[in-house]
Structure 1
């Protein structure tokens, strides 16, 4: 994250949490009219359009008062989506077994980018099965990571959504 994104994350985190969401990622940058992207979700992993609108309204008020960024910018509040970024240890734990793309902050054995199936996350060590073999990556060295859209991931997300819908319907009866 850039310094601006780090500062904004620290500024908005208490409000995001108070509203019942978890902050996933804050990014800031772009061209003539930069974009401030805030990615969040509920603890159960869901995030609807109404949730994004609610969070956007509340965060706009804070950003207008605090004015942490120079000039004009676009505010974009979104859910992580299916091919979501992995930013916290719990993200790696939750999505074990799925394929991801990981970029390190510094090179390890002459490489910075890895792609493969995440097989374990213990302590602060991510283990991945790649085409070149098994690699172990320290969480603290990971600069960027995201899930890769696969049929397996799509099926798992759809199954989870169907289960949540069934639970909600059963609870309302």
Structure 2
């Protein structure tokens, strides 16, 4: 089995991500409008903060522009884009399921059926979903699925997520995010 260019780039960059305490989820080199674009997707428990993205962007750039990087990527310009997974990412590994705990997911099963439920727990073998009753009637049920039973699964976007029923809860979450993004001194001035 031969390794692809993306595989070789992943091997080059993985130790840097690992050293920073994050997972290198995906490395993809594509051509966009005649330019090469290298997309690197990072993730971690609790998410990846912007400082980590910036630090790793610099470290990846140094590695890619060095002798080992040039041997893999070749000479020539490229644009490096480093970020975290989007909302449309497939849940393919146990850590993806763990990180999506409490989120609503839609899973297509290998048997052909489809299941939508909220992740209540997961482990290395499978996931436990809470399935809401149809049209609000009856009680929620739980269903355990082995990962081998799941063909494809994605987190569903929720605009009115249970537990965020009033604006006060939303305002508190936004304020907390703002404080975290700005830092305490900047948040006090805002």
TM-score range, shorter chain: 0.5 to 0.7
SS in structure 2 of the partner of residue 61 of structure 1: helix
- Residues 160/97 of structure 1: CA separation in 2 closer, same or farther (3 Å cut): farther
Once the two structures are TM-superposed, the CA of residue 77 in structure 1 deviates from its matched residue by: 0.5
Counterpart in 1 of 2:73? 69
Counterpart in 1 of 2:99? 94
User: Is 1:80 matched with 2:85?
Assistant: yes
- Residues 123/88 of structure 1: CA separation in 2 closer, same or farther (3 Å cut): closer
Gaps of 5+ in 2: 135-140, 185-190
SS in structure 2 of the partner of residue 35 of structure 1: strand
SS in structure 2 of the partner of residue 56 of structure 1: helix
Counterparts of 1:41 and 1:130, CA distance in 2:
29
Between 1 and 2, higher relative CO (CA 8 Å, sep ≥ 6) is seen in 1
Counterparts of 1:131 and 1:5, CA distance in 2:
43
For these two proteins, the number of residue pairs brought into alignment is 159
User: Is 1:138 matched with 2:147?
Assistant: yes
Q: Which has the larger radius of gyration?
A: 2
Match of 2:176 among 143, 162, 168: 162
CA contact (8 A) 1:98 1:147 kept: yes
TM (normalized to structure 2)? 0.58
5 Å-filtered alignment, 1:12-161, equals 12-31=13-32, 32-41=34-43, 43-48=45-50, 50-65=51-66, 66-67=69-70, 68-69=72-73, 72-80=77-85, 83=87, 85=89, 86-102=91-107, 108-110=110-112, 116-128=117-129, 129=131, 136-138=145-147, 145-151=153-159, 152=161, 159=173
RMSD: 4.2
TM (normalized to structure 1)? 0.62
The structure carrying a bigger strand percent of its residues is: 1
